[in-house]
């Protein structure tokens, strides 16, 4: 008889509770035949290899086009685009073809050899988001292998739920039989591909649990975007959970309960009902101004990845965009980087989508990685580091590219209120260089008689040096944005994507809170606005503490906005301020994130 109430801990990446039956997808290893082909067979083998790529890429593009007009799935659309570009990469295609031509490997073996080589490059990257793309590549190669095995003229089966590393898709019309209790299905797999998320969009599955993944993984990004209860990074969940097992997935807590007893089921059904009532209640707050009980007006902004995301931000009641990440224009570009005109159109689209509300666009925050290598702007792998040439450092090392982005931003400012945000500033020399290049960009537009608009300038505080140098920074900027994720990572010397130390990452660590509190206080003293745009900005459990520290501007994923607004409407900053100062003096702040009484 199975044990009851087995609690499995993972990484919380979304919200909600789902109770259902496990749809357990076994992970199949990528196994291929290895043999040497005769020289006369090389052209046919190269053709088979290319056909596999063409079919897999075409499939991704078709799925992506089907989402083109659905703003709610902008994150999924972007991930599919990034996956298609990974498959289109010459390093992957030509590398595999090289093994066929020069070593006479069969196509499957050649592709696996090139995958192994590229995987080593991904492993060398310090950026957690980029390291996660290795798993994406493995999934894509599995799909190419499947397409290569099809006879000429045979179309690949539709993309369906595909376990990472599996070499065949599962037909959702012939899944294993389900119990008759009509509970929803919860996918349990080693990992999922973005295209698999279409099944969640269609309501086929109610949640998912994966062994792999982190807060930066594609599964986490899509779970938040589609508001699906999910827990990732569980390591061995797929080995411990059997098909049709009864599960409770408590996404907010990063918790999965296997085979819950009746008492536990009743408890979580009650919590589920409370959450549903809370969401319904929060929906009524969409047009309610975010004002505390003592009359303090709070600015609630949205973090967005794409111009298409702006529609969701407006729908959630955001009063602007607090962080628009411009990296989507640059990532996965292997032949050329986006020019001024392409960037201008993207920034203009975001500004226009916000219908006159302010938009803050962060200049490129990217490291010196393989994604830019073909363009001649990467460093050797041994020089890639989270402490190396990234963000503003990369921009200042490539002034022509930086001025191109700045000109595009200045031009876009004609179409609505625009703020430009500079990431990872740490010293005054960088501030001066940045402002000089901005002025050069203005002069270049004047020389071409190209119209440009006024902009407000902001500095990101995401390294301790910026927090400590803030008094020197403030005269040069109109506002400050606190990136609490990186600020915590650099302050605590913890890479939260590293499983061995991820438990040490804590954005509410006393040292991090002291830095945040000091930044807020200094900005207020100088009459400069300050916004917080890290993960804790969208965590309702931390809202009261941030209000008590004096924060009046929050930027978060649009899906989190109404829950935070509800907390703001219940707050009295006059009561919270002295309590927050007491929290700063504690050794363990986690135990006291809510005021007593």
Is 486 labelled as part of a ligand binding site?
A: yes
Spatial CA neighbour of 248 closest among 234, 273, 222, 267? 267
Token pair listed for 250: 């408590």
Q: Examine the residue annotation and report whether 83 is marked as an active-site residue of this protein.
A: no
Partners of 189 in the beta sheet? 210
DSSP annotation string for 538-557: G-HHHHHHHHHTT--EEEE-
Query: What contacts 158, CB < 8 A, 6 or more positions away?
Result: 169
Side-chain half-sphere CA neighbours of 146 within 13 A = 23
Spatial CA neighbour of 217 closest among 192, 199, 235? 192
Catalytic residue among 334, 531, 533, 544: 533
Query: What contacts 530, CB < 8 A, 6 or more positions away?
Result: 479, 480, 481, 482, 519, 520, 523, 524, 551, 552, 553
DSSP annotation string for 405-444: HHHHHHHHGGGS-EEEEE-S--SHHHHHHHHHHHHHHHHH
Is 485 labelled as part of a ligand binding site?
A: yes
**Distance between CA atoms of residues 35 and 520, nearest Å:** 64
**Distance between CA atoms of residues 407 and 410, nearest Å:** 5
**Distance between CA atoms of residues 285 and 482, nearest Å:** 26
Crossing angle of helices 107-123 and 42-65, in 10° steps, is: 60
Q: Convert 54-112 into a string of H (helix), E (strand) and C (coil).
A: HHHHHHHHHHHHCCCCCHHHHHHHHHHHHHHHHHHCHHHHHHHHHHHHHHCECHHHHHH
Catalytic residue among 83, 190, 218, 544: 218
Is 462 labelled as part of a ligand binding site?
A: yes
Q: Examine the residue annotation and report whether 218 is marked as an active-site residue of this protein.
A: yes
Radius of gyration over every alpha carbon of the chain, rounded to an integer in angstroms: 25
Partners of 237 in the beta sheet? none
Phi and psi torsions of 434, nearest 5°: -60, -45
Q: Convert 7-69 into a string of H (helix), E (strand) and C (coil).
A: EEECEECCCCEEEEEEEECCCCCCCCCCCECCHHHHHHHHHHHHHHHHHHHHHHHHHHHCCCC
Distances (CA, A) of 278 to 93, 561, 563, 581: 50, 13, 8, 30
Is 362 labelled as part of a ligand binding site?
A: yes
**Distance between CA atoms of residues 509 and 516, nearest Å:** 11
**Distance between CA atoms of residues 338 and 355, nearest Å:** 25
Distances (CA, A) of 123 to 76, 120, 375, 446: 24, 5, 21, 45
Partners of 207 in the beta sheet? 186
Distances (CA, A) of 520 to 492, 515, 550: 20, 9, 7
Within 10 Å of residue 225's Cβ, how many Cβ atoms? 24
Torsion of CA 312, 318, 321, 327, to 10 degrees: -30
Query: What contacts 24, CB < 8 A, 6 or more positions away?
Result: 188, 189, 238, 241, 242, 243, 244, 245
| Residue ranges of the binding site for phosphoenolpyruvate | 325, 362, 485-486, 496
Which residues belong to the active site? Answer: 218, 533
| Residue ranges of the binding site | 325, 362, 462, 485-486, 496
| Residue ranges of the binding site for Mg(2+) | 462, 486
């Amino acid at each position: 008889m199975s044990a009851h109430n087995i609690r499995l801990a993972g990484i919380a990446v979304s919200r909600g509770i789902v109770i259902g039956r496990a749809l357990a997808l076994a992970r199949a290893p990528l196994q291929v035949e290895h043999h040497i082909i005769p020289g006369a067979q090389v052209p046919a083998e190269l053709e088979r290899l290319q056909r596999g790529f063409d079919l897999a890429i075409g499939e991704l593009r078709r799925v992506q086009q089907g989402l083109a007009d659905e703003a709610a799935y902008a994150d999924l659309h972007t991930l599919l685009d990034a996956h298609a570009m990974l498959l289109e990469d010459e390093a992957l295609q030509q590398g595999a073809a090289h093994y066929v031509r020069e070593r006479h490997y069969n196509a499957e073996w050649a592709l696996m050899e090139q995958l192994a080589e590229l995987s080593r490059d991904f492993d060398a990257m310090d950026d957690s988001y980029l390291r996660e793309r290795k798993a994406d590549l493995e999934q894509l190669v599995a799909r190419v292998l499947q397409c290569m095995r099809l006879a000429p003229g045979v179309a690949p089966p539709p993309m369906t739920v595909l376990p990472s590393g599996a070499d065949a898709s599962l037909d959702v019309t012939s899944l294993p039989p389900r119990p008759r209790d009509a509970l929803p299905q919860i996918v349990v797999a080693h990992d999922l591909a973005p295209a698999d998320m279409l099944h969640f969009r269609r309501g086929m599955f109610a949640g998912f649990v994966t062994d792999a993944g982190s807060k930066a993984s594609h599964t986490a990004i899509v779970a938040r975007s589609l508001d699906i209860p999910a827990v990732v990074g569980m390591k061995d969940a797929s080995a411990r959970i059997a098909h049709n097992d009864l599960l409770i997935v408590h996404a907010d807590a990063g918790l999965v309960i296997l085979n819950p007893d009746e008492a536990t089921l009743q408890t979580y059904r009650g919590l589920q009902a409370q959450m549903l009532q809370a969401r319904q209640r929060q929906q009524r707050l969409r047009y309610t101004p975010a004002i505390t009980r003592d009359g303090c007006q709070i600015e609630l902004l949205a973090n967005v990845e794409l111009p298409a995301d702006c529609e969701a931000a407006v729908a959630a009641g955001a009063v602007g965009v607090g962080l628009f990440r411009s990296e989507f224009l640059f990532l996965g570009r292997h032949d050329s980087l986006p020019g001024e005109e392409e960037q201008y159109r993207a920034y203009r689209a975001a500004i226009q989508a916000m219908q006159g509300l302010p938009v803050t666009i962060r200049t490129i925050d990217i490291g010196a990685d393989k994604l830019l290598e073909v363009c001649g702007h990467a460093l050797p792998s041994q020089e890639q580091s989270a402490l190396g040439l990234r963000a503003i450092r990369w921009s200042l090392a490539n002034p022509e590219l930086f001025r191109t982005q700045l000109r595009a931003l200045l031009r876009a400012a004609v179409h609505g209120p625009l703020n430009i945000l500079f990431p990872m500033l740490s010293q005054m020399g960088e501030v001066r260089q940045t402002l000089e290049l901005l002025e050069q960009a203005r002069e270049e537009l004047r020389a071409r008689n190209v119209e440009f608009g006024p902009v407000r300038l902001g500095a990101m505080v995401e390294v301790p040096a910026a927090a400590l140098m803030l008094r020197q920074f403030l005269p040069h900027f109109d506002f400050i944005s606190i990136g609490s994720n990186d600020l915590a990572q650099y302050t605590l010397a913890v890479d939260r994507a590293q499983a061995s130390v991820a438990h040490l990452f804590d954005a509410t660590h006393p040292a991090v809170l002291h830095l945040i509190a000091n930044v807020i206080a200094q900005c207020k003293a100088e009459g400069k606005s300050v916004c917080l745009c890290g993960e804790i900005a969208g965590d309702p459990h931390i809202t009261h503490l941030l209000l008590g520290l004096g924060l009046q501007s929050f930027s978060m994923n649009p899906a989190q906005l109404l829950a935070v607004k509800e907390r703001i409407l219940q707050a009295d900053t006059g009561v919270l301020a002295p309590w927050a100062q007491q929290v700063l003096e504690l050794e363990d702040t986690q135990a006291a994130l809510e005021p007593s009484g």
